[in-house]
């Protein structure tokens, strides 16, 4: 009631020990699964299954709801950090390929679901669409977590294949969340009192509008205004002014996205890209620094926004919010109901089909390279030899041919490694897939219990397969990926080791 208060009670000993053990095992499980299978998030999901409703239900129900909310805020921070570290120049260079990959990643899971689920398993047409839609989304949280975990070996954010992965995953998630908005309202259609065009069109229009309007107003309005009137004053306050602006911009984008009818996660990503683009990239600009220490030390310099994120938010995100997010995925998995013979084999078969439906996205990398019009090393060397007036003989021709074959082999080896990396990184479904299929099951009459379990099996196993494959690839082939045509690109502007090489535009 108004003017009341919440009576203070000392938590019980058992409650304290449960919370301490929960966070301890989240950290331990992450470390163990990272060492064993190169995917720390899998251990955190397992802890969520054990401590949550699916298995032991050790945590009180209101705690699980609280952790789910905090975990979702952690997901927003993960995606916001991904936006802050995004190379906008690489996004622009690879936009067409990213769109093709994203379209493949949406259409293949839905299209391949119909022969198996509709014709093979006998599920309904709408039910099949909802399950396929849940498997069409790529987990943004898992994608950025994988990129972050790989940064010790190769900075995927600064690679060409990494930029394609990020943009394709973002587009897939936006499409998935648009379908989520439509699926959530499917139950209203039966009532007859609903504008179907507005129901389907609103999230689509809102997403496209944000994607188009944000870059335009950023480049022509906000960035010039910031660079002319604001950024030189930021050097007086360093991190304080940065964190205030970051909070305001993130909150504004979340509000705009949420009330416009699109995803707040998409808003969080756009907020990060928006913040990154604002400062001047001129060498004398206050935000152009080689390290966080330089920005803090020099009177006319300021730490970058990614530096501020690292100092104030990275610790809480990595050790509190991110573990809560992945454990909350575990809360939502109906673990006990998974284990019947029929559900297991159907789930495994559908898992393999859905893993293929995302892995196929990687095939565009060698196709793009094949038709990209790269010059042949043999022709270049031959022409250079003629220009230098060197004699052409049989031995030199053999040598040039051998070198050409070696260079061509390296290029194609790098392309196929990048293709496998892209395809396997797109496999993880995670939070968005679970959201879509749970809303389809709980809020519409279309998704049956068996269909729900089959979809959950595929989401769960794909969320394991994807990060494990990426971890193994990075572990054994990081150097080849980084140095190839699809690796780190020229023009990269690493700010510092702390910033993981996140450069400007």
Q: Residue 228, Cβ neighbours under 10 Å: how many?
A: 10
Q: How far apart are CA 123 and CA 109, in angstroms?
A: 16
Rg of the chain taking only CA atoms, in angstroms: 25
Residue 324 maps to a domain: yes
| 127 contacts 447 by C-beta, under 8 angstroms | yes
Q: How far apart are CA 462 and CA 338, in angstroms?
A: 15
Beta bridge partners of 281: none
Q: What per-residue confidence (pLDDT) applies to 369? A: 85
Residue 6 maps to a domain: no
Q: Mind listing the pLDDT tens digit of every residue in the chain (505 residues)?
A: 556 888 888 889 999 999 999 999 999 998 898 787 766 778 898 999 999 999 999 999 999 999 999 999 998 998 898 888 777 777 788 888 989 999 999 999 999 999 999 999 999 998 999 999 999 988 777 777 776 666 666 677 678 888 888 888 878 877 877 777 777 766 666 555 556 667 667 777 888 888 899 999 999 999 999 988 888 888 788 889 999 999 999 999 999 988 887 778 889 989 998 998 899 888 888 888 888 888 888 878 888 898 999 899 989 998 999 899 889 988 988 889 889 999 999 999 999 999 999 999 999 999 988 886 444 444 444 444 444 454 555 555 556 667 676 677 777 888 888 899 899 989 988 777 887 888 888 878 889 999 999 999 999 899 888 888 888 888 788 778 777 788 776 554 444 434 343 333 3
Enter the tokens of residue 209. Answer: 């509008």
Residue 83 maps to a domain: yes
54: number of CA atoms within 13 Å, CB side?
21
Q: Which of 323, 332, 338, 337 is nearest to 458 (CA)?
A: 338
Q: How far apart are CA 327 and CA 183, in angstroms?
A: 25
Q: How far apart are CA 44 and CA 27, in angstroms?
A: 8
H or E stretch at 142: helix 140-149
| 331 contacts 64 by C-beta, under 8 angstroms | yes
Residue 379 maps to a domain: no
Residue 346 maps to a domain: yes
Residue 4 maps to a domain: no
Number of domains the chain contains: 1
Enter the tokens of residue 243. Answer: 């964190």
Q: What per-residue confidence (pLDDT) applies to 494? A: 43
Token pair 């379209």 in the structure block, residue: 103
Q: What per-residue confidence (pLDDT) applies to 186? A: 66
Enter the tokens of residue 338. Answer: 């998974």
**H helices of 13-124, where?**
13-37, 40-51, 61-84, 88-93, 95-113
Q: Residue 334, Cβ neighbours under 10 Å: how many?
A: 16
Enter the tokens of residue 154. Answer: 């190769």
Enter the tokens of residue 219. Answer: 């480049």
Q: How far apart are CA 101 and CA 85, in angstroms?
A: 21
| CA angle, residues 70, 501, 139, in degrees to nearest 5 | 40
Q: What per-residue confidence (pLDDT) applies to 61? A: 92
Q: Which of 27, 15, 180, 144 is nearest to 467 (CA)?
A: 144
Residue 380 maps to a domain: no
User: 233: domain CATH number?
Assistant: 1.20.1530.20
List the domain range (segments joined by +) for residue 84: 13-189+196-371+404-483
Q: Dihedral sign, CA of 154, 106, 438, 118?
A: negative
Q: Give, in order, the Cα–Cα distances in Å from 162 to each of 65, 88, 167, 343, 422.
A: 34, 12, 9, 35, 8
pTM for the predicted model, two decimal places: 0.78
Q: Which of 238, 267, 262 is nearest to 250 (CA)?
A: 267
Q: Which of 214, 151, 211 is nearest to 177 (CA)?
A: 211
Q: Residue 264, Cβ neighbours under 10 Å: how many?
A: 21
CA 125, distance to chain mean position in Å, is 29
What is the separation, in whole angstroms, between the first and last Cα of the chain? 52
Torsion (CA) 71, 358, 458, 187 in degrees, nearest 10: 70
Q: What per-residue confidence (pLDDT) applies to 235? A: 76
Residue 381 maps to a domain: no
């Amino acid at each position: 009631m108004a003017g009341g208060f919440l009576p203070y009670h000392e938590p019980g000993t058992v409650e304290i020990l449960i919370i301490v053990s929960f966070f301890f095992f989240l950290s331990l499980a992450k470390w163990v699964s990272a060492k064993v299978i190169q995917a720390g998030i899998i251990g955190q999901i397992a802890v969520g299954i054990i401590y949550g409703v699916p298995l032991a239900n050790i945590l009180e129900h209101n705690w699980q709801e609280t952790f789910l909310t905090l975990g979702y805020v952690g997901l927003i921070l993960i995606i916001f950090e991904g936006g802050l570290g995004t190379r906008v120049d690489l996004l622009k260079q690879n936009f067409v390929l990213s769109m093709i990959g994203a379209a493949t990643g949406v259409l293949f899971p839905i299209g391949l679901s119909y022969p198996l689920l509709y014709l093979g398993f006998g599920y309904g047409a709408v039910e099949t669409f909802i399950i396929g839609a849940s498997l069409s989304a790529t987990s943004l949280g898992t994608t950025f977590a994988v990129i972050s975990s790989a940064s010790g070996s190769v900075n995927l954010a600064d690679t060409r294949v990494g930029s394609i992965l990020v943009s394709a995953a973002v587009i897939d998630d936006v499409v998935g969340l648009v379908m989520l908005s439509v699926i959530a309202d499917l139950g209203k259609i039966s009532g007859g009192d609903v504008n179907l065009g507005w129901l389907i069109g609103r999230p689509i229009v809102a997403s496209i509008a944000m994607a188009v309007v944000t870059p335009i107003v950023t480049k022509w309005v906000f960035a010039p205004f910031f660079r002319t009137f604001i950024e030189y004053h930021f050097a007086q306050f360093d991190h304080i002014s940065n964190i205030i602006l970051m909070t305001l911009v993130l909150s504004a984008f979340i509000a705009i996205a949420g009330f416009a009818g699109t995803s707040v996660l998409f808003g969080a990503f756009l907020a990060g890209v928006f913040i990154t683009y604002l400062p001047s990239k001129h060498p004398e600009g206050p935000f152009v620094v080689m390290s966080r220490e330089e920005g803090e030390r020099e009177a006319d310099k300021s730490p970058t926004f990614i530096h501020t994120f690292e100092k104030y938010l990275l610790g809480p995100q990595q050790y509190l919010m991110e573990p809560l997010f992945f454990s909350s995925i575990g809360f939502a998995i109906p673990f006990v109901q998974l284990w019947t013979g029929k559900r297991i084999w159907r789930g495994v078969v559908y898992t393999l089909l859905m893993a293929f439906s995302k892995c196929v996205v990687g095939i565009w990398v060698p196709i793009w390279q094949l038709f990209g019009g790269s010059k042949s090393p043999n022709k270049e060397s031959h022409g250079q030899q003629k220009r230098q007036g060197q004699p052409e003989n049989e031995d030199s021709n053999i040598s040039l041919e051998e070198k050409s074959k070696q260079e061509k082999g390296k290029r194609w080896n790098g392309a196929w490694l990048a293709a496998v990396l892209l395809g396997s990184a797109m496999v993880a479904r995670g939070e968005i897939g679970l959201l879509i299929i749970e809303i389809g099951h709980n809020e519409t009459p279309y998704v049956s219990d068996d269909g729900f379990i089959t979809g959950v099996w595929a989401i769960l196993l794909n969320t394991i397969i994807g990060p494990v494959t990426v971890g193994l690839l990075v572990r054994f082939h990081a150097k080849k990926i980084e140095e190839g045509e699809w690796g780190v690109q020229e023009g990269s502007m690493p700010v510092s080791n702390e910033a993981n090489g996140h450069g400007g535009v």
